[in-house]
Amino acid sequence: MAKSKPNRKRKQSKRTRPYSSRVGRLPSGGNIHQLQLLNIELHGEPVGRLNPKVEPLLRQSLSLLHAGKGAESEALLKQALEIEPNDPALLNNLGQAYVLQGQEQKAEELAYEIHERFPDYLFGRTNLANILVEKGAIERAKEMIAPLFSRKRLHFGEFSAICAAQIQLSLAEGNREAAESWLDMMKQVIPDDPNIPALEMRVRPSVKTLLRTMLRR
């Protein structure tokens, strides 16, 4: 599943200013979806407005998620949801808290609920697409992601989630070249994205990692 939705009050840094020059050069091995992304503007502006009472709870919960403390994060997110029960970002982060606690079934059920209630929520679509890929439902995963390529403007975090989902999908199809292309584009546009190291290990595993995987079989 994709990572948490970006902090809505994140200040723009030099890197996250509106990316008016578009995504840039298409990496080798690019596909039609990547070509379409060239027409999408990326930005680092705050996404949406957050209830002042919810903001500190969300901020603390995100810190706990990053620290791997799922139960503590869950408690704070449920407090926030009592104030804003219809916020998909809070629900999305709650799903991540479930995953950290090994409650995969609850996380999956919540992912379906989020998509049903908020079909336009980008992170809901990428999360559900990742779940479908894990289940081998490749075509359904593609259908989940496809509408996202018609969007003309994306936050850097949204772009990251799309790239990560496409990498998972490409690997599931056995298309490592496409996965590498998406990873290269992600590294070009968001070089300090915290998801890159884990994705790099999946796309370009080291010899040590490959041996460990073979021994587990």
pLDDT for 49: 79
User: Taking 80 as the threshold, does the pLDDT of residue 214 lie above it?
Assistant: no
Entry pTM:
0.78
pLDDT for 25: 38
Q: For residue 155, list its beta bridge partners.
A: 43
pLDDT for 209: 57
18: confidence class by pLDDT, cuts 50, 70, 90: very low
User: Taking 50 as the threshold, does the pLDDT of residue 7 lie above it?
Assistant: no
Name the more confident of 62 and 23: 62
What average pLDDT does the chain have? 82
Cβ(125)–Cβ(144) under 8 Å? yes
Name the more confident of 163 and 215: 163
Name the more confident of 28 and 85: 85
- The token pair at 127 is 């999360």
Can you say whether residue 76 is alpha, beta or left, with left for phi > 0 and alpha for psi between -120 and 50 degrees?
A: alpha
Considering only 11-25, 154-168, 179-193, which range has the smallest mean pLDDT? Answer: 11-25
Cβ(96)–Cβ(65) under 8 Å? yes
Q: Which of 144, 163, 183 is nearest to 2 (CA)?
A: 163
Alpha helices (runs of H) in the chain, residue ranges in sequence order:
32-37, 55-66, 70-83, 88-100, 104-117, 122-134, 138-145, 156-172, 176-189, 196-203, 207-216
- The token pair at 32 is 């039609």
C-alpha distance across the termini of the chain, in Å: 24
Residue-range domains of the chain with CATH: 32-216 (1.25.40.10)
- The token pair at 163 is 């790239």
pLDDT digits 0-9 by tens, 78-131? 999 999 999 999 999 999 999 999 999 999 999 999 999 999 999 999 999 999
Q: Which helix (H) or strand (E) holds 153?
A: strand 153-155
pLDDT digits 0-9 by tens, 116-174? 999 999 999 999 999 999 999 999 999 999 999 889 899 999 999 999 999 999 999 99
* Chain-centroid distance, C-alpha 128: 10
